[in-house]
Each structure stands twice: as structure tokens, then as C-alpha cells.
């Protein structure tokens, strides 16, 4: 990557600058020997080269870098050079890389930190122990050498934690979006497929006795199929790119479409009575969609599980209630297992901060949605 090339170049440039400074600051200590300069140049080239593998083999590259630093310091001690300056840029970026890219960095990092600390302590002790500079100075020197290493490791932890947090948030958003799409597909397909099934059964029953009525039922089936395709297409569009989705966007249902929904269900033979002054007109778009889908799911369940039962829909400012009359007889065992539709209704209500009741009562089955006050 480009950033790795830039880091490698910076290591080489700083290394050459450090070598040049050794000649200007050598007095009163002996100047660096040619062998020491060659050793340092080779070490800096190796450290720069490790940057190209720090993402794929960070642990190995850090060991190589520590070894290169150790060889350089040993060469300086053997040749009697008393300048202990060092270039820790490679150590900094490799410490970062071990945390970011190694699968299990902690055990290796403990060993590498121990070896690097021991090396720095020995080197600084050699350069700094004298009657005027006790062991404390050597310890401080070793600590300053570890500062860049610790900085790289700390930066790696911060970035890794942020990456994990972002990944977790992305997974949460994806899960929520998958749930939303599944809910939309269920609500639309369940409603339209149940209406198609009812109309198909009715058409088959009067196929020979009333061809005109059969034609009407077939027109209803065609309409239901078209509406189902439109709703499914609108849901699938959310999986496309924003430009494609906007170009083929189908508006989500609002409370203005509730009368059409009721008329459609009445045409399927359902007995539906509507009471109340009507829903609030200041509902937000999610609240209007929630109201529509709740009524749609309640009517779909009434057709599926209580065919022929009358339904009452009450709409007022507090919310809505859909009652399917006469499903249960007194004392009948009731084992209620929420289906996908019931789960979807509850999720929509939770999203809007509304309260949902979806349970049997003495008159049958009640679905009530109440807005927050």
C-alpha cells in the first residue's frame, strides 16, 4: 500500500539523517567506524523493508526489527562508539501492526516487549553508567526508548477497538434492515396471497354456474397479484443502490390507504364494520405505516383463522382496535404461539413507541394499537 511505502521511505530518510548527525556530534567520543555505518545502513534498510509485510506478518517483522536494533547497538558497543541515539519509527509502526493485524497478539507482544526492554536497559546502562550517572539514568533512558513502542501498541488498541465497535454497529444495522425487509415481505405477501386463495376458491365454486362472477373474481386475483408484485418490488428496491431505489420507489402505505384496504377485504367477503372518529391526522410516516400494516395483518389473520367471522375496526385519536368476533368458545384451550405477523406488528409498535395488544378476549380476538401520549 502507498502508506507502507511512505513509512518505509521515512525510516530510511531518518536513518540517513541520524548517521549524518553522528559525525557532527561525535566529539569528544570517537567518530563512527565505516563498519558501524554499514551495519546501521543495512539495519535501516531491513527495518524499512519490514513495513511491506507488517500487515501480513506483523509478529515476524517486529522480531526482525528488534533483532536489527540489537545488532546495531551491539556493533556500536563493540566498536567503542559512545553515541546511543536510535530510530524507533519502525518499532512504533510494527507495535501498532501487531495489535491491528495479528490474530493473537498478546502472548507474542509480552515476549517482544520483555526482550526489547532488556535490550534497551543494557544499552542505556552501558552508555550512561558512571559516577555522575547512576542506574536511574539508565532506567529512564530505557523507558524513553520504550515510549515509541508503547505509543504504537496503544494506537493499535484504540484503532482496533474502534473498528470492532464500527463492525458491531454495522452488523446491528444490517440485522435491523434484514428484519425490516422480512417484516415487509411477510405483511405484503401474506395479505395478497390469502386474498388470492380466497378468490380462487370462490371462482372454482361458481365456475360453471356463474361465469360473470368468475370473471369478477379473476379480475380481483389479477389486481391482488399486481399489488403484491408492486409491494415486493418496493421492498426489494431497498436492497439496491440509492439511485436505483429512488428511480423505482413505491411509496409506503399511509392511513389514507386504509379505506381502500377495507374495501378490498370486503370484496373478499369479509364483514367489516368501522367505528370511531378516525385516526389522528398528525401521525408521522412510520406511525401511519404501522397503523396500516397492523390493520392489514389483523384482517389477514381474521381471514385465515376465522373465516366468515365479523370484524370491527375502531379508529380514534388514541389509536386503533381491530376485533374479530366469535373465534373462541368459553373454556376452549388456547395455546398462543406468536407467528411472524404478530412479531412484525410488535416490532413496528416498538419502533414507534406505541403499545400493542394482540390477544384473545371474551368477544374473540383483539388487536389494539395505542399511541404514546
- Angle CA 266–269–274, to nearest 5: 35
| Residues 253, 17: Cα–Cα separation, whole Å | 69
φ, ψ for residue 360, nearest 5 deg: -75, 155
Each domain of the chain, given as residue ranges in start order, spans: 2-169, 254-373
Q: Give every CB contact of residue 141 below 8 A, 6+ residues apart in sequence.
A: 84, 120, 124, 127, 128
| pLDDT at residue 238, rounded to an integer | 61
**pLDDT digits over 178-234, tens only?**
777 777 777 777 777 777 887 788 788 888 788 888 887 788 788 778 777 777 776
Listed residue (117, 119, 118, 112) closest to 96, CA to CA = 112
Q: Give every CB contact of residue 162 below 8 A, 6+ residues apart in sequence.
A: none
- Between 130 and 153, name the one with better pLDDT: 153
| pLDDT at residue 318, rounded to an integer | 93
Burial classification of residue 114, based on how many CB atoms lie within 10 Å of its CB (0-12 exposed, 13-18 middle, 19 or more buried): exposed
Give the fold, CATH level 3, of 254-373. Heat Shock Protein 90 (3.30.565)
| Residues 296, 16: Cα–Cα separation, whole Å | 75
Q: In angstroms, what CA-CA distances link 67 with 28, 60, 272, 313?
A: 29, 11, 84, 80
Burial classification of residue 68, based on how many CB atoms lie within 10 Å of its CB (0-12 exposed, 13-18 middle, 19 or more buried): buried
Question: Is 306:326 a contact under the CB 8 Å cutoff?
Answer: yes
- Helix count and strand count (H, E) for the chain: 11, 5
Question: Is 336:346 a contact under the CB 8 Å cutoff?
Answer: no
pLDDT at 46 over 90: yes
Tell me, what DSSP letter sits at residue 271? Answer: -
State the sign of the Cα–Cα–Cα–Cα dihedral 217, 220, 222, 225.
negative
**pLDDT digits over 16-31, tens only?**
888 887 777 655 466 7
| pLDDT at residue 138, rounded to an integer | 47
pLDDT at 246 over 70: no
| Whole-structure pTM value | 0.53
| pLDDT at residue 37, rounded to an integer | 86
Amino acid at each position: 500500500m502507498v502508506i507502507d511505502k511512505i513509512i518505509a521511505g521515512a525510516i530510511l530518510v531518518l536513518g540517513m539523517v541520524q548517521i549524518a548527525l553522528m559525525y557532527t556530534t561525535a566529539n569528544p567520543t570517537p567518530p563512527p567506524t565505516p563498519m558501524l555505518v554499514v551495519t546501521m545502513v543495512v539495519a535501516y534498510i531491513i527495518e524499512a523493508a519490514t513495513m511491506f509485510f507488517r500487515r501480513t506478518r506483523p509478529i515476524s517483522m517486529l522480531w526482525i526489527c528488534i533483532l536489527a536494533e540489537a545488532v546495531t547497538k551491539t556493533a556500536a558497543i563493540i566498536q567503542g562508539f559512545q553515541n546511543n541515539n536510535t530510530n524507533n519509527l519502525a518499532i512504533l509502526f510494527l507495535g501498532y501492526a501487531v495489535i491491528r493485524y495479528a490474530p493473537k497478539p498478546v502472548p507474542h507482544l509480552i515476549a517482544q516487549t520483555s526482550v526489547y526492554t532488556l535490550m534497551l536497559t543494557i544499552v542505556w546502562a552501558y552508555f550512561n553508567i558512571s559516577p555522575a550517572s547512576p542506574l536511574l539514568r539508565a532506567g529512564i533512558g530505557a523507558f524513553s526508548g520504550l515510549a515509541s513502542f508503547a505509543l504504537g501498541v496503544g494506537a493499535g488498541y484504540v484503532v482496533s477497538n474502534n473498528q470492532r465497535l464500527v463492525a458491531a454497529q454495522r452488523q446491528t444495522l444490517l440485522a435491523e434492515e434484514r428484519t425490516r425487509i422480512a417484516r415487509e415481505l411477510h405483511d405484503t405477501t401474506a395479505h395478497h396471497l390469502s386474498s388470492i386463495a380466497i378468490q380462487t376458491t370462490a371462482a372454482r365454486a361458481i365456475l360453471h354456474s356463474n361465469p360473470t362472477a368468475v370473471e369478477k373474481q379473476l379480475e380481483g386475483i389479477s389486481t391482488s397479484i399486481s399489488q403484491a408484485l408492486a409491494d415486493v418490488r418496493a421492498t426489494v428496491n431497498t436492497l439496491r443502490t440509492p439511485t436505483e431505489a429512488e428511480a423505482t420507489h413505491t411509496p409506503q402505505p399511509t392511513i389514507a390507504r386504509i379505506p381502500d384496504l377495507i374495501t378490498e377485504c370486503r370484496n373478499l367477503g369479509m364483514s367489516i364494520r368501522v367505528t370511531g372518529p378516525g385516526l389522528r391526522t398528525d401521525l408521522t410516516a412510520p406511525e401511519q405505516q404501522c397503523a396500516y400494516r397492523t390493520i392489514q395483518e389483523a384482517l389477514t389473520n381474521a381471514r385465515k383463522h376465522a373465516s366468515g367471522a365479523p370484524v370491527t375496526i375502531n379508529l380514534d385519536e388514541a389509536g386503533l382496535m381491530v376485533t374479530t368476533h366469535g373465534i373462541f368458545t368459553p373454556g376452549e384451550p388456547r395455546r398462543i404461539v406468536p407467528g411472524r405477523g404478530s412479531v412484525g406488528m410488535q416490532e413496528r409498535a416498538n419502533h414507534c413507541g406505541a403499545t400493542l395488544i394482540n390477544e384473545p378476549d371474551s368477544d374473540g380476538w383483539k388487536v389494539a394499537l395505542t399511541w404514546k401520549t
